[in-house]
């Protein structure tokens, strides 16, 4: 349900400066924009604080009947400052936009690249929806906050110093009156920012729950309707939606109290200063009217940077969890990757110092695959394969059969190095496969899964997914081999038919045929087919069988299937049960053996 918030975040924690420095490190390429923006912040604060002073001088000049040229010059100065103000605002908005867009782009790019490199085990524990929000909302949140934080930090700090100093210079007694309320202002602001941070976090958390309920409500609608569960679903939705209303209301009330309180506190300082200053003027001493007005404007503006700085720090805390998640993803090293030794062999082979035919300098051809004493578990307390030994010779087709959950897919995943053995090793031509390049191995395999994934795009593009340079003739030939050509030509645009997201406009059997054609086109050394034709009708499967047999000739193939027709012609059938090979041999030999295979045959295959 709460896929969007698997980590409980400490909303009141301190700002993790090391983390933010690292995030800022990703913006190195936009250093120029960052400095321009920070300089813009400093200049803006100075210009903004000069405006009240010029106003005060102008008023005094008019009241004191100063020369026209002085009044004109002050008017020109005021206009000049106002124009500079606009130009600086334009300048830093452009620079902030450049920094935010660039940083978001770089963070997205780096996180996507890391996701492409990470091993399958990572995706077993991180739900897809959660990862998608890391790539989208987290990157956006962190990147859009960074420029405004830097800007407000420079602007706010400069403003506080210049305006504070300005007030003390104009009249230190009045200045101290205004500054006296600053500690109260800071305390109240921190108190409310914490409250606002907590309620907005709760709002976001509830919002992601709401999204999940929406999502399940829509995707599971068929099941809901078939079980008449609509009233319960509406009730569940009502509960989450009500919490969202409550938290939003709380946040609005807190905001509505916070702003008037802060304004009143700063107003008190201004009031005291106005009172003291006014009495002084009445007594004919102290400030001129113009300077008192300038001072009053400073006093009013003084609360602004305090409020803005507090808001930015609270934004930073609010986005800290997002920053941690992005940095955590970027720091995560892929567990299944080429070792340093393999990488140096690839470099040596590229430089022509090794003479094997594969990119890592080893043999290109796969002659034999050996699982030696392989044990594997997804979770240490639940072993899936135990001490498995399996040798596959060149040209051999082996079939894995057995009850659900026996470990067949796991064996195939280990062979493909989607996962690696926890104990023991898998040897290719006598060499442990971790000593070979991952890319070489995986590009030598043609893998077809039970639920193949098709990408949005045409049928032709999907078949040529791994071989983008393939010609239309090659694509068609692959489709003909797996009996997919006929159904493809009957589609509205034939090979140019758009398959939809995940192949949603095709039936499961049609998707499997396209995935098979994709594997055939890649012309791999080894075929791994996990229930590759389970959704295809038996008639078509017989045809495919004939087409594929010619292709499998001379290659290693590992076929997992529940249907007898698919495994019957294999050179060797292995019965996998409870993570062990309990029986193996040819179809005929196993039937005669009166063991597990025969029992399976009777129970599952008798009808085919
Ligand atoms: N990603 C995973 N994380 C944790 N456990 C898993 C994972 N994949 C499989 N398992 C567990 O490993 C065991 C073997 O699963 P596997 O998918 O290899 O079985 P199978 O023989 O292919 O079954 P089926 O015939 O249903 O496809 C099962 O108990 C399953 O629950
Ligand atoms: Mg399976």
Q: Token digits for 84? A: 């500079």
State how beta strands 572-577 and 397-401 pair: parallel
Specify the range with the lowest mean pLDDT, choosing from 123-137, 167-181, 387-401, 469-483.
123-137
Determine contact, residues 202/210, Cβ cutoff 8 Å.
no
The atom of ligand 1 lying closest to the CA of 406 is 21
What is the per-residue pLDDT for 540? Answer: 76
408 C-beta closer than 6 A to ligand 1: yes
Please indicate whether residue 20 or residue 361 has the higher confidence score (pLDDT): 20
pLDDT band at 538 (very low <50, low <70, confident <90, very high): confident
Taking only Cα atoms into account, the Rg of the chain, rounded to an integer number of angstroms, comes to 35
Residue/partner pairs of 171-175 with CB below 8 Å, 24 or more apart: 171/277, 171/286, 171/287, 171/291, 171/295, 173/276, 174/273, 174/276, 174/277, 174/287, 174/295
For residue 448, the Cα-to-chain-centroid distance in whole angstroms is 27
The atom of ligand 1 lying closest to the CA of 378 is 4
CA of 257 to the centre of ligand 2 (A): 59
Q: Token digits for 271? A: 């009031």
State the maximum Cα–Cα separation within the chain, in Å, rounded to a whole number: 121
Distances (CA, A) of 148 to 159, 174, 314: 15, 32, 12
- Of all helices (H) and strands (E), which one includes residue 343? helix 340-350
Q: DSSP letters of 433-487?
A: GGGS-HHHHHHHEEEE-SS----SSBHHHHHTSS-TT--HHHHHHHHHHTT-HHH
Order across the sheet with 445-448: list the strands. Answer: 445-448, 526-530, 556-560, 397-401, 572-577, 580-585
Burial bucket for residue 425 (CB in 10 Å: 0-12, 13-18, 19+): middle
Order across the sheet with 368-379: list the strands. Answer: 382-393, 368-379, 423-428, 431-432
Supply the pTM of this predicted model.
0.76
Specify the range with the lowest mean pLDDT, choosing from 31-35, 214-218, 591-595.
214-218
CA of 329 to the centre of ligand 2 (A): 29
The atom of ligand 1 lying closest to the CA of 579 is 14
Of 120, 374, 406, 566, the one to substitute when testing ligand 1's pocket (max ligand atoms within 8 A of C-beta) is 406
pLDDT band at 354 (very low <50, low <70, confident <90, very high): low
What is the residue whose two structure tokens read 């969202």?
A: 244
Of 407, 575, 605, the one to substitute when testing ligand 1's pocket (max ligand atoms within 8 A of C-beta) is 407
CA distance 346 to 359: 6
CA distance 580 to 410: 12
CA of 368 to the centre of ligand 2 (A): 23
**What's the full length of the chain, in residues?**
608
Nearest residue CA, atom 13 of ligand 1? 405
Please indicate whether residue 381 or residue 539 has the higher confidence score (pLDDT): 381
What is the per-residue pLDDT for 390? Answer: 94
- Of all helices (H) and strands (E), which one includes residue 60? helix 31-63
State how beta strands 368-379 and 382-393 pair: antiparallel
* Percent of the chain's residues with pLDDT above 70: 96
579 C-beta closer than 6 A to ligand 1: no
Determine contact, residues 567/401, Cβ cutoff 8 Å.
yes
Q: DSSP letters of 360-424?
A: TSS-SS--EEEEEEEEEEEETTEEEEEEEEEEEETT-EEEEE-STTSSHHHHHHHHTTSS--SEE
What is the per-residue pLDDT for 6? Answer: 35
Determine contact, residues 265/303, Cβ cutoff 8 Å.
yes
pLDDT band at 321 (very low <50, low <70, confident <90, very high): confident
pLDDT band at 233 (very low <50, low <70, confident <90, very high): confident
CA of 322 to the centre of ligand 2 (A): 36
120 C-beta closer than 6 A to ligand 1: no
Across the range 39-48, mean pLDDT stands at 93
Across the range 106-126, mean pLDDT stands at 87
72 phi/psi in degrees, rounded to 5: -60, -45
pLDDT at 362 > cutoff 90:
no
Cβ partners under 8 Å of residue 114, min gap 6? 329, 330, 332, 334
The atom of ligand 1 lying closest to the CA of 403 is 25
CA of 412 to the centre of ligand 2 (A): 9
75 C-beta closer than 6 A to ligand 1: no
CA of 449 to the centre of ligand 2 (A): 9
409 C-beta closer than 6 A to ligand 1: yes
pLDDT at 263 > cutoff 50:
yes
**Per-residue burial over 3-25, b = 16 or more CB atoms within 10 Å of its CB, e = otherwise:** bbbeeebebeeeebeebbeebee
pLDDT at 606 > cutoff 60:
no
CA of 410 to the centre of ligand 2 (A): 7
What is the per-residue pLDDT for 507? Answer: 87
CATH of 14-171, one of 1.10.1370.40, 3.40.190.80, 3.40.50.720, 1.20.1560.10: 1.20.1560.10
378 C-beta closer than 6 A to ligand 1: yes
Please give, one letter per residue, the 3-state secondary structure of 86-125. Answer: HHHHHHHHHHHHHHHHHHHHHHHHHHHHHHHHCCHHHHHH
What is the per-residue pLDDT for 399? Answer: 93
- Name beta bridge partners: 527: 446, 557
What is the per-residue pLDDT for 3? Answer: 38
For the stretch 500-523, pLDDT in tens is 888 888 888 888 889 989 999 988
What is the per-residue pLDDT for 353? Answer: 64
What is the per-residue pLDDT for 428? Answer: 94
Specify the range with the lowest mean pLDDT, choosing from 65-74, 208-217, 240-249.
208-217
CA distance 407 to 461: 33
CA of 384 to the centre of ligand 1 (A): 8
Taking Cα atoms as reference points, which of 434, 385, 379 lies closest to residue 408? 385
404 C-beta closer than 6 A to ligand 1: yes
Specify the range with the lowest mean pLDDT, choosing from 206-210, 369-373, 485-489.
206-210
CA of 579 to the centre of ligand 2 (A): 12
Nearest residue CA, atom 25 of ligand 1? 404
Closest ligand to residue 604's CA: 1
**Per-residue burial over 449-478, b = 16 or more CB atoms within 10 Å of its CB, e = otherwise:** bbebebeeebbbbbbbbeeeebeeebbbeb
Burial bucket for residue 222 (CB in 10 Å: 0-12, 13-18, 19+): exposed
pLDDT at 115 > cutoff 60:
yes
pLDDT band at 355 (very low <50, low <70, confident <90, very high): low
Give the mean pLDDT of the chain.
86
pLDDT band at 113 (very low <50, low <70, confident <90, very high): very high
Across the range 323-347, mean pLDDT stands at 89
405 C-beta closer than 6 A to ligand 1: yes
What is the per-residue pLDDT for 406? Answer: 92
CA distance 502 to 194: 44
Q: How far apart are the first and last CA of the chain?
A: 41
The domain spans of the chain are 14-171, 395-405+444-605
Across the range 589-606, mean pLDDT stands at 80
CA of 532 to the centre of ligand 1 (A): 16
For the stretch 422-457, pLDDT in tens is 999 999 999 999 999 999 998 899 888 878 889 999
Nearest residue CA, atom 4 of ligand 1? 378
Closest ligand to residue 413's CA: 1
CA distance 569 to 548: 11
99 phi/psi in degrees, rounded to 5: -65, -45
pLDDT at 12 > cutoff 80:
no
What is the per-residue pLDDT for 1? Answer: 35
Cβ partners under 8 Å of residue 484, min gap 6? 510, 513, 514, 516, 517
CA of 463 to the centre of ligand 2 (A): 23
Nearest residue CA, atom 29 of ligand 1? 405
CATH number of this structure's domain 395-405+444-605: 3.40.50.300
228 C-beta closer than 6 A to ligand 1: no
What is the per-residue pLDDT for 274? Answer: 81
Question: Would the CATH topology of 14-171 be identical to that of 395-405+444-605?
Answer: no
């Amino acid at each position: 349900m709460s896929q969007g918030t698997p980590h409980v975040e400490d909303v009141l924690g301190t700002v993790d400066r090391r983390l933010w420095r690292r995030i800022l490190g990703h913006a190195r390429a936009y250093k120029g924009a960052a400095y321009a923006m920070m300089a813009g912040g400093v200049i803006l604060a100075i210009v903004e604080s000069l405006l009240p002073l010029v106003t005060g001088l102008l008023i005094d000049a008019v009241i004191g009947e100063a020369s026209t040229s002085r009044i004109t010059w002050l008017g020109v100065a005021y206009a000049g400052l106002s124009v500079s103000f606009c130009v600086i605002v334009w300048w830093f908005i452009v620079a902030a936009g450049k920094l935010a867009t660039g940083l978001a782009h770089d963070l997205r790019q780096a996180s996507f690249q890391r996701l492409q490199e990470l091993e399958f085990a990572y995706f077993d524990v991180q739900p897809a929806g959660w990862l998608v929000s890391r790539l989208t909302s987290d990157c956006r949140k962190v990147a859009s906050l960074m420029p405004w934080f830097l800007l407000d930090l420079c602007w706010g700090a400069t403003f506080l110093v210049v305006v504070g100093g300005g007030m003390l210079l104009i009249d230190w007694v009045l200045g101290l009156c205004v500054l006296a309320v600053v500690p109260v202002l800071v305390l109240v602001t921190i108190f409310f920012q914490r409250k606002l941070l907590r309620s907005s976090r709760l709002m976001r958390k509830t919002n992601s729950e709401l999204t999940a309920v929406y999502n399940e409500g829509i995707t599971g609608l068929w099941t809901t309707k078939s079980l008449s569960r609509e009233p319960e679903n509406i009730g569940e939705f009502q509960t989450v939606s009500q919490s969202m209303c409550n938290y939003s209301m709380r946040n609005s009330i807190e905001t509505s109290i916070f702003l008037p309180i802060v304004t009143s506190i700063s107003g008190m300082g201004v009031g005291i200063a106005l009172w003291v200053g006014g009495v002084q003027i009445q007594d004919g001493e102290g400030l001129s009217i113009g300077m008192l007005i300038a001072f009053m404007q400073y006093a009013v503006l003084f609360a602004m940077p305090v409020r803005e700085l507090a808001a930015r720090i609270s934004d930073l805390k609010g986005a800290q969890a997002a920053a941690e998640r992005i940095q955590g993803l970027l720091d995560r090293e892929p567990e299944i990757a080429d070792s340093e030794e393999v990488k140096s062999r690839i470099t040596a082979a590229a430089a022509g110092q090794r003479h094997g035919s594969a990119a890592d300098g080893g043999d290109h051809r796969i002659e034999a695959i050996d699982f030696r004493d392989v044990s594997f578990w997804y979770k240490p307390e639940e072993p899936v394969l135990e001490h498995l030994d399996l040798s596959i010779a060149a040209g051999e087709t082996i079939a894995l059969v057995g009850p659900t959950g026996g470990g067949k897919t796991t064996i195939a995943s280990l062979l493909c190095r989607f996962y690696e053995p926890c104990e023991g090793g898998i040897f290719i031509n006598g060499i442990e496969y971790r000593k070979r390049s991952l890319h070489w191995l995986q590009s030598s395999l043609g893998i077809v899964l039970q639920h193949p994934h098709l990408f949005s795009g045409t049928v032709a593009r999907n078949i040529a997914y791994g071989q983008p340079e393939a010609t239309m003739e090659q694509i068609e030939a692959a489709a003909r081999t797996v009996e997919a050509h006929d159904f493809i030509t009957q589609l509205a645009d034939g090979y140019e038919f758009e398959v939809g997201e995940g192949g949603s406009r095709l039936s499961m059997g049609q998707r499997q045929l396209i995935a098979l054609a994709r594997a055939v086109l890649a012309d791999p050394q080894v075929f791994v087919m996990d229930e590759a034709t389970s959704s295809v009708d038996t008639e078509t499967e017989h045809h495919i069988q004939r087409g594929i047999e010619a292709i499998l000739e001379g290659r290693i193939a590992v076929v997992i299937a529940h249907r007898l027709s698919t495994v019957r012609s294999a050179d060797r059938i292995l019965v996998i049960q409870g993570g062990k090979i309990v029986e193996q041999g040819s179809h005929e030999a196993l039937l005669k053996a009166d063991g597990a295979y025969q029992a399976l045959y009777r129970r599952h295959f008798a009808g085919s």
